[in-house]
Amino acid sequence: MVRSILRSKYFAPIVVVLIFWLGLVIIKTHNQRADVDSRVSDLEGKASDIERANRYIEKLLTYIKTPEFLDREARIRLKSKSKNLQKMKERL
């Protein structure tokens, strides 16, 4: 029975079609894998950018909570107020 299937006139075309189909499936799978790898790489880059931004924000928040920042901010605001007061006094 196996010999009769192998000698059938339909066997060779069916095998060729199956091999062609299998090749297409393999190529499609390879392209999809490459696309997924590319997207994963892109997302990993974005994740590292977000982590870098988060570290910067954490450092900034830590600095804002320090007395040095409060002193500097107070000096800046007082200077601007004193300049505005001087301008107002000059106008009067």
Tokens for 28, please give them: 């499609």
Residue ranges per structural domain of the chain:
2-91
Q: Mention every residue, 6+ apart, whose C-beta is less than 8 A from residue 63.
A: 69
Q: Mention every residue, 6+ apart, whose C-beta is less than 8 A from residue 11.
A: 5
pLDDT band at 70 (very low <50, low <70, confident <90, very high): confident
Per-residue pLDDT, 6: 73
pLDDT band at 90 (very low <50, low <70, confident <90, very high): low
Compute CA distances 75 → 72, 78, 84, whole Å.
Answer: 5, 5, 14
Tokens for 81, please give them: 């107020």
How far apart CA 37 and CA 30 sit, in angstroms, is 10
Q: What is the pTM of this model?
A: 0.55
For residues 31 and 25, the answer to whether their CB atoms sit within 8 Å is no
Give the E-state strand segments of the chain in sequence order.
none
